[in-house]
Structure 1
Amino acid sequence: MMTLDVIRTDVAIIGGGLGACAAALAAASLGKRVVLTEATLWHGGQLTNQAVPPDEHPWIEQMGATASYRRLREEIRAYYRSHLPLTRAAREDAQLNPGNGWVSRLCHDPRVAVAALNQMLAPHALGGRLFVLRMHEPISAWTEGDRVVGVVVRGLQSGREVLIEAPYFIDATPEGELLALAGVEHVIGAESRAETGEPHAPEHADPHDQQAITVCFAMEHRAGEHHVIERPRQYDVWRALRPEGWPGSQLSLTTVRPETHEVLERGLFESDDGKPWWTFRRILDHTRFEPGFAASDVTVVNWPQNDYWVGPICGVDAAERARNLEAARELSLSWLYWLQTEAPRPDGGVGYPGLRLRGDVVGGTADGLAPAPYIRESRRIRAELTVVEHHIAHPLRPDGPERFADSVGIGCYRIDLHPSTSGRGYLDLGCWPFQIPLGALIPIRVENLLPGGKNLGVSHIANGAYRVHPVEWSVGEAAGTLAAFCLERGVSPRAVRNTPARLDELQSLLVRRGVELAWPTLAPL
């Protein structure tokens, strides 16, 4: 029988997503010992190993984020100011946007996010309160009744297995893997309209109705040079594909506007609306740096054309998962190859052979793509309270969002669902600035496991608003704070929510730590 290494701690965070980092910071700063595991070399999830610049609401510079998330944003900006040759104007810009991408007010290199997160976590690691196990993934969980007592993680390089024991576990994996391993009641895909009452829910529940994943990549453009990659194996498949409801080929600069489904024409470097694809998620604008520093801009490609919606990776067998992950990577490589060889140019020619894949930006993977796919949708706990469309959707609530007395944070984003593995197209709805209720963090049965990301108690529809960077961070911060609070007082999360004095005590602690619990009156997005 194999002998397991055993680590005992106060709070075990399985998975190293963005919410995991927030949870670790919260629990460790409250004096608890924390173990954090991550399946790749970079913790930070969608901000780092998935290579997605932050999707944020328009008020992010003034409100609507926790103090620790604000610190993360400032650490990122401080890195550029301290270590890189910015122009004077860029250096003095209080709201520096290194890439000047129009998707976000802080489009930046994922390596800088890794550095900023390490800077924030380092004091707790050096002080012995935080231990990080990188390149380790969960493979099993031990339970006793309604409690998780241990989780086994395996080193992806070493093969060693480690048993982590703790009174509290936080699942911060990208797909809610611990929920499945520990037998925690959860939902995959879309609930039925009869279950949630949502007008945009399907008539029948469909676990395969999951948002597309995207394998992102970074590229630059060196005009006059030749950097065309080898023709991808599946290129002909993707080049020929004409998705239903799409205005043309999957590999095309013509897409649809998510809000209206009208045809959207946008060039690679030029566009009538001043928003070409190149600047969408640009993470390095070379004009923001001293001459000679960068030969080209760098942009991250997380565009509709490399959304992989053909099949799910969550809740399917290992073989199907592997096929879909491989096909998603092939789609992204095919999109790059099409841009290099067939994309129409304004001068009448085709192809931009000077587009150069920048695998170094995402950690130097073998194929040059991000090491992890961008996961928009996870398993989600069946919770004491499930947030649904009619809690937050502007069309259903003209007078404002639901007010949750048990709020442990806030967030804001449109209800933005990308095309689905069930064949559904875009669903994009106006949404009010919303709260994160404590009830959405508490499983209906299990007492000591908390969600640390997109796996909280929200419906498939509401997940479209709760899935973005600052919300995931806020969920993780609330979970880490709650775990430390319960350990300190010897109470359960369920008891905290259902005891007014305890709930008030927790909310007061969150407010003191810089967590906003309610929005002022604002217009919907």
Structure 2
Amino acid sequence: MLSADIAIIGGGLGGVAGALAALRRGHRVVLSEEFPWLGGQLTSQAVPPDEHIWVEQFGVTASYRALREGIRRYYRDFYPLTDAARRESRLNPGLGRVSRLCHEPTVAAAVITQLLAPHRSSGRLTVLQPYVPVDAVVVADRVESVTLRHTGTGEELVVEAAMVLDATETGDLLPLTGTEYVVGAESRAQTGEPSAPQVADPTNVQSIAWCFVFDHVEGDHTIDRPDDYEHWLEQAPPFWGGPMLSFTAPNPRTLEPEERTLQVNPPIDGHVDGDPRFDAGDQDLWEFRRIVARENFQPGSYESDIVLANWPQLDYLGGSVIDTPDRAFHLTQAKAQARAYFYWLQTEAPRPDGGYGWPGLRLRGDVAGSDDGFAQAPYIRESRRIAAVTTVVEQDVSVEVRGDAGPALFPDSVGVGMYRIDLHPSTGGDNYIDVECAPFEIPLGALVPVRTRNLIPAAKNIGTTHITNGAYRLHPVEWNVGESAGELASFCLEQSLTPRDVVSDPELVHRFQTRLVEAGVEIHWPEILGY
């Protein structure tokens, strides 16, 4: 048995941020994670950060900014950058169009290891890998302990803690602790949201995707033809405009099918700096999430750019992985779909020169931290969500509903974020749902369960809806949620309070907000024009 002040179950971005917040307050922390790398969507899921356009100036926490600058510093310290790239204060190693900081998951994993290293050395942080939660003891609405199981050996370990953070990718502690939660799509009658369906469906969640990393070099690197390749060739959702194994996919904002492209190692003409408000940057597979751009490195350092594939054709629509006995099957199928798509790219994809397939495409397991080139873990977009004191709904953040009213405000704000409501095609058969958002705040009430007294959500499991989760699920917001959850757990321990005590008392809310601001958490957007 292990004992700690705070147990954090799940080592994604929220879990790491929560641990750092609690550790800087001097608490003892146990942090568990299922996969080899800490960092979740940024590392084991391999997805470079989806961020708003003001990220370099404001709108993220100081510790998230330190993570970003740590990634840039790692490249400057250890990579053969060109002199021009080394001088670039806003270095974007991959020059991908999705982000101002497209980078390898290996580098993010290394920087997270650096951030946690002194705390592990001091003994105040214990990291358990690879472990998943399988049971919990709850007495009088308090989580007394969580049982973890080693995914390799099956060994079980009990962790006791005064405060518990659920930072798992799908809110796995919620059913284990009997914490009330919602999963899937709520109905319009339940939430009043314009984009909600008429009928609630707990099995209707955003698709997952199994991403992979690849480059292109001379030679034939074609993988074995998947046994189920014909099955995936036949998949053609009615709204897709063609087969999944193609360059055709719906435009998220117009829903009209459109053709996308793959340019292999294209020349980079000028500075890549797309504005996601007007250009999602997702028309070309190579440029969208390129994580190494040869242009940034000394001549001869790289034979090819390196690309992370997180692409519409990888979105798995076959079923939910939450609250289902078929979870393992759906995970296997999601990866099989991705493998089939890569084989299609190598063998059948139409090339600009009139030919078919790029056999020189090569999976890069060394970059993904895996044996096969695919990410260690599936990219999870939607989680179980606590039944919270405050639930953020579409009306709170939608520009169409709110008009030009400036940022979406909450009096108990514990952070900020900005992203469109971006719901990918779902397991219930929905096409994209895309809603323009105002810059928004994260209400403290969304981190407080209606009943469980010492459990705090620290990832995508806060009090949002199926709809608003689409805006609150991205990298900097998850980090902010985790950091504020770690600070809340620490505040409650030091003051002998529960999260419900804090959110119910305006004076305590004010004291807690002051603490966050002093720690570098922005709780309001700047008062400027032109959002």
**Contact in 1 for aligned 2:133/2:148 (Cα 8 Å):** yes
Q: What residue number does 2:244 align with?
A: 250
Distance 2:528 2:311 in 1: 29
CA distance in 2: counterparts of 1:364 and 1:175, whole angstroms? 22
1:407 equivalent among 375, 388, 413: 413
Relative distance call for 1:423 and 1:393 in structure 2 (3 A) is same
Following superposition of structure 1 onto structure 2, how do residues 301-450 of structure 1 map, counting pairs within 5 Å? Answer: 301-317=309-325, 320-365=326-371, 367-398=372-403, 399-450=405-456
The runs of at least 4 consecutive aligned structure 1 residues that moved more than 4 Å come to 521-525
If the length of structure 2 is used for normalisation, what is the TM-score? 0.95
Percentage of matched positions with identical amino acids: 54
Give the structure-1-normalised TM-score.
Answer: 0.96
Task: State the match for 2:16 in structure 1.
Answer: 21
1:394/1:524 contact within 8 Å kept: no
Contact residue 460 and residue 472 of structure 2 kept, 8 A: yes
SS state at 1:323 partner: helix
Shift of 1:521: 4.3
- CA deviations 1:77-120 (Å, max 9, x no partner) are 00000001000010000000000000011110001000111111
Matches for 1:66-465 after TM superposition, within 5 Å: 66-222=61-217, 224-269=218-263, 275-317=283-325, 320-365=326-371, 367-398=372-403, 399-465=405-471
Contact 2:214 2:373 in 1 (8 A): no
SS at match of 2:416: strand
Q: Distance in 2 between matches of 1:447 and 1:130?
A: 24
* Amino acid paired to 1:388: V
Kindly provide the CA deviation profile for residues 487-522 of structure 1, in whole angstroms up to 9, marking residues without a partner as x.
011111111111122111110010001000111246
1:436 counterpart SS class: strand
Answer yes or no: is 1:509 the counterpart of 2:504: no
Distance 1:267 1:522, change over 3 A: farther
Alpha-carbon shift at residue 371 of structure 1 (Å): 1.3
Match of 2:34 in 1: 39
- Cα distance, 1:69 vs. partner? 0.1
Q: Distance in 1 between matches of 2:344 and 2:513?
A: 52
How many equivalent residue pairs? Answer: 516
Deviations 1:411-434 (A, max 9, x none): 000000000000000001100000
User: What is the Cα deviation at residue 267 of structure 1?
Assistant: 1.3
- Where 2:2 maps in the other structure, the secondary structure is strand
Whether the aligned pair in 1 keeps the contact of 2:408 and 2:438 (CA below 8 Å) is no
Q: What is the deviation of 1:523?
A: 7.0
What amino acid sits opposite 1:42 in the alignment? W
Conservation of the 8 A alpha-carbon contact between 1:393 and 1:401: no
Task: Please tell me the residue identity of whatever aligns with 1:150.
Answer: S
- Give 5+ residue unaligned stretches, structure 2: 267-278
Q: Give the structure 2 partner of residue 53 of structure 1.
A: 48
Mapped partners of 2:111, 2:258: distance in 1:
36
- Deviation (angstroms), 1:181: 0.9
After superposition, the CA RMSD in angstroms is 1.5
Q: Is the 8 A contact 1:35 1:131 kept in 2?
A: yes
For residues 37 and 524 of structure 1, the distance between their equivalents in structure 2, rounded to whole angstroms, comes to: 42
SS of residue paired to 2:520: coil
Contact 2:239 2:250 in 1 (8 A): no
The residue that corresponds to 2:491 in the other structure is 485
Deviates more, 1:99-108 or 1:396-405: 396-405
Alpha-carbon distance in 2 for matches of 1:107, 1:522: 28
2:269 alignment counterpart: none
C-alpha displacement of 1:454: 0.3
- The answer on whether the counterparts of 1:432 and 1:523 sit within 8 Å (CA) in structure 2 is no
Matched, 1:7 2:2: yes
Q: What is the alpha-carbon distance in structure 2 between the residues aligned to residue 309 and residue 90 of structure 1?
A: 40
Residue identity opposite 1:395 in structure 2: E
CA shift digits 1:426-469 (9 cap, x unpaired): 00110000000000000000010000100000001000000000
Q: Which moved more, 1:341-350 or 1:69-78?
A: 341-350
CA apart distance, 1:385:
0.4
- Residue 61 of structure 2 aligns to which amino acid in structure 1? T
Query: d(CA) in 1 for partners of 2:72 and 2:406?
Result: 34
Unaligned runs of 5+ in 1: 1-5
Q: CA deviation at 1:240?
A: 1.5
Which residue identity is paired with 1:210? V
Q: Tell me which amino acid in the other structure corresponds to 1:447.
A: R
Judged with a 3 Å threshold, the aligned counterparts in structure 2 of structure 1 residues 91 and 467 are, in CA distance, closer, same or farther, namely same
Report the equivalent of 2:474.
468
* Aligned-pair CA distance for 1:323: 1.1
Q: What letter matches 1:60 in structure 2?
A: V
